[in-house]
Structure 1
Amino acid sequence: MATPDPEPEEKYKVINDPIHGLIKLHPLLIKIIDTPQFQRLRHIKQLGGVCFVYPGATHSRFEHSIGTGYLAGKLAENLRSSQPKLEITDEDILCVKIAGLCHDLGHGPFSHLFDGCFLPKTKKSEEKKNWKHEQGSCDMFDHLVRSNKLEPVMKEYGLKEKDMTFIKEMFFGPLDTKRNTDQKWPYNGREEKKAFLYDIVSNKRSGVDVDKFDYLLRDSYYLGIKTNFDYHRFMKFAKVFEVEGMTRKYICNRDKEVNNMYDLFQTRHSLHRRAYQHKVTQIIQHMIAEAFLKADDHINIKGSDGGIFTLSTAINDMVAYTKLTDSVFEQILNSYNEELAEARKILEDIVSRKIPKFVGETRPRAPIEDRERLITDWKAELSGHLPEGEPEDFEVLVARMDYGMDDEDPVEKFPFYSKFNVNVAKFITGDQATRMGTTRFSEELVRVYYKKADDMRGYLTAKERLDEWWETFLDSQE
């Protein structure tokens, strides 16, 4: 099918974004944005419960998705302009924009709280125990296209069935999980010579992608935290080359931009430490997840064919899931249903700032083994030193922070080229202590909270005992 003539300017729409300035939207993107499934993202906070600590962090998945779609298109267009031999087509660029736009369609209430804290604890979604929002994004994208009759519209813009596959593969990964990815090209949407397109929205190999560019800049802006990473420099020097030791071409950057890449991941780590997994943020998100668990059986959501779904089973039906947003918080909080009394009390404590008091934290010297048993022992030990103390008076949470790839240095997985050799890129190697001042790229924090926030004597006793307990625990790890 031939590519249609360019649309007249009046069919485009321009929006003013606080991060990227004026963003020009393709007519097809406008049609996607103007659907109930995409508009739903207006009502899902980008940072979940972080807004209870940082008042400005009330931005939503809606604007982040638009920003990611914009950056995805900008990077693809830059590559086409600088390297015509890559044969990037109009359809390629449109698909990349749509993938960036739709990559977060599957997020549930309070974003990562839903699939990271709530769903794993439920029994009803046992069949989808490892369900993540990327799967929801695939399901919701299919539902969006089908229910809004966008198939013929997409065909008008030159998109075929394989392009629908390509769009989902860009944010989910290979859809056919039975294929042997070690022996053959795992994707169906594009041939192997265009492997670099899969690095743009969600880079599974190194984590350097436009999704991260947008959310780190956007989150920093609304949190009031400064960042040193400059995505404009990345865009300026981005090229596609063969990589030494690899069989495919990948998106690379100039070797002098190594420090800019480290700024990217240092920003990510800093935001996790200062905001995403702030000690108060963590306990509040835990409380919200507990409230959702207690409310799960008592929230009814009407889905397709009149089916009724709960908070945890709505992921099985996109009609029901479209209706599930952050508004469930207020639904529980303002309910008179006695069956929601326990859940309502938890949320009332959050809004009145009656939250467990932070006692202390420690950094284990090694990964914790048998975490559940250790947490149970800690609770029993601490409560045993309090008059009428109970293990349930304490909450112990573990926060894990890294540079995006567990204990590995993600920058070592991203290729760089030199101006003296612009045909083949290489992965950096060497002494990481000279680059980062550290050879560790992940850490765990064990945090203890005392639920009786008004009991100052009990709190001080627990804090004193905890300091002694930490020393014993850390000594045992040597």
Structure 2
Amino acid sequence: MKKNYSDIIDPIHDFIRVYDHELSIIDNPIFQRLRRIRQLSGAHLTYPAAQHTRFEHSLGVMHIASQAGNALNEKEILKSDDIEILRLSGLLHDIGHGPFSHLFEEIIQERKISHEDFGKEIILKSEIGDILSKNGYDKKLVTKIAFGDSKFQYLNEIVSGALSADMMDYLLRDGYFTGAEHAKIDHKRITQSLDVHKKKLALERSALYSFESMMHSRYQMFKAVYFHKTVRAAEVMLLEALRLSDDEYGFTTFNLDEFVNLTDEYVLSTLISSKSTKLRRARQFAQDYQDRKLLKCVFERILTSQTNLKKTRTDELRTEISKKSKVQENEIFVDSSVTPSIPLAPSKNESKSIILISNENGKSSANVMPISKIPVVSAISGFMNILRIYTHDKNRKKVEIAAKSILGDLK
């Protein structure tokens, strides 16, 4: 009997099983493009092995979503058809990412759009959607679950949220390829302990410690990797290069056919090979990024406020530091890095509670536990908010003195 699947060897999950209809999506050029978008944009300049991409992460999310689906199927909550829709939604959840992953998100956010918007359009209006329809799947439902919009909240939460396959894969994968020891999580225990209560994803109380550990791992990875000062130095340079060149190349205004050609190396090589005199600074930033001639961090402060500094405030700080240091404004970079300490729910609201299921004497009961009542998680809840000032090495001392003078008492 001819088998209808292939097994892909993966360093995180050992083997990822992919069925023929999924393989027809994976082999499509639009999906293959994810091989050329690094998961962690500029982190490889600090952690050299962090060369992994959105491609293998997407396969991993499909795999963990499938494990979660199978666990719920054994509890007679999901049917096998639901699991297949869940797998496809996990596979396609990152299909709309632009070059340099979340870094590109910082650029397009200024136009009030996100990679989810591009992802929806790709699934609904490209060959990807045609393949889904041809194989008998509802592309609208896959899109809704992939981006947290379906009426089945528990399915949305398996793909994205505080108990999501997305987070479990990226923590394991990013920890493995950066070498960071913070990302050890018991994802199998969590997926096997999933349940559903009133159409919301729940967790067996016995797995609460694994959930706490995962939240702490995520927090530590932001401190050690995602918001590492040298990682952000590289990303600040890329952001500046993209902003300076956007009018010329329209990176953020491409139509769908043009957007699916954007990859890390395409954008970088386009900037570096540009002959335009208008793009001299953008070209230099791109070249310095490639050569790892990075900006220097001269001031760092972890803020206790819950929101990032508005652009007007960062612009004001840049002006103040420029005047005091007598260094040109365009040589000073104010970076405000912010993330909620607990992952957002698919609705994009902060996760405030978790539903715990207890099984005693053959009876099952549910309890909604506020995050504030979970000691380890409560201690890190809120926002991680880091303000940094960067400049070129030649200006280091002047800008450092000015920044400390102006920002010394900032809380």
TM-score of the two chains, using structure 2 as the length reference: 0.89
Q: Secondary structure at the match of 2:91?
A: helix
Tell me the CA shift for residue 275 of structure 1: 1.4
The answer for the alignment partner of 1:125 in structure 2 is: none
Answering whether residue 59 of structure 2 is matched by residue 66 of structure 1, we say: yes
- Unpaired segments ≥5 residues, structure 2: none
Of residues 193, 201, 225 in structure 2, which corresponds to 1:237? 193
**2:107 is equivalent to residue 118 of structure 1:** yes
Cross-structure match for 1:150: 131
Shift of 1:322: 1.5
The higher radius of gyration belongs to 1
State how many pairs are aligned: 405
Tell me whether 1:425 sits opposite 2:395 in the alignment. Answer: no
> Partner of 1:443 in structure 2?
384
CA 9–221 in structure 1, closer or farther in 2 if over 3 Å, else same: farther
Percentage of matched positions with identical amino acids: 25
For residues 285-364 of structure 1, the aligned pairs below 5 Å read: 285-299=235-249, 310-314=250-254, 317-326=255-264, 327-364=266-303
Task: Report the aligned-residue RMSD.
Answer: 2.8
Do the aligned residues in 1 keep the contact of 2:5 with 2:18 (CA within 8 Å)?
A: yes
Structure 1 residues 219-268: Cα deviation after superposition (integer angstroms, max 9, x where no partner): 1111101223210111222223x3xxxxx233322213222112212222
Which of 79, 84, 91 is the matching residue for 1:89?
Answer: 79
Distance 1:29 1:433 in 2: 39
Further displaced range: 436-445 or 69-78: 436-445
In structure 2, relative to structure 1, the CA distance for the partners of 1:375 and 1:298 (3 Å cut) is closer
Asked whether 1:139 is paired with 2:121, we answer yes
Please state how far the C-alpha of 1:133 moved relative to its aligned partner.
Answer: 0.8
Give the aligned partner of residue 332 of structure 2. 394
Alpha carbons 2:353, 2:371 under 8 Å: kept: no
Q: Displacement, 1:336? A: 3.8
How far does residue 422 in structure 1 lie from its aligned partner after superposition? 4.8
State whether structure 2 residue 294 is matched by structure 1 residue 379: no
Give the secondary structure class of the aligned counterpart of 2:94: coil
User: Aligned with 2:300: secondary structure?
Assistant: strand
Tell me which amino acid in the other structure corresponds to 1:425.
A
CA distance in 1, matches of 2:316, 2:133: 61
Q: Which amino acid aligns with 1:120?
A: Q
State which of 204, 210, 213 in structure 2 corresponds to 1:254: 204
- How far the C-alpha of 1:100 sits from its partner, in A, is 0.6
In the alignment, the residues of structure 1 paired with residue 131 and residue 380 of structure 2 have an alpha-carbon distance, to the nearest angstrom, of: 50
Classify the secondary structure of the residue corresponding to 1:438. Answer: helix
2:175 aligned partner? 220
AA aligned to 1:202 is S
Q: Which runs of 5+ in 1 are unaligned?
A: 1-7, 122-128, 175-185, 188-193, 243-247, 300-309
Choose from 9, 15, 37 the match for 1:16: 9
What is the CA–CA distance in structure 2 between the aligned matches of 1:262 and 1:195, rounded to whole Å?
22
Question: 1:440, CA displacement in angstroms?
Answer: 4.5
Q: SS of the residue aligned with 1:454?
A: helix
Query: What aligned pairs does 1:258-269 form with structure 2 within 5 A after superposition?
Result: 258-269=208-219
Relative to 1, partners in 2 of residues 1:58 and 1:250: Cα closer, same or farther, differing over 3 Å?
same
**Residue pair 2:123, 2:139 contacting (<8 A) in 1 also:** no
Contact 2:49 2:177 in 1 (8 A): yes
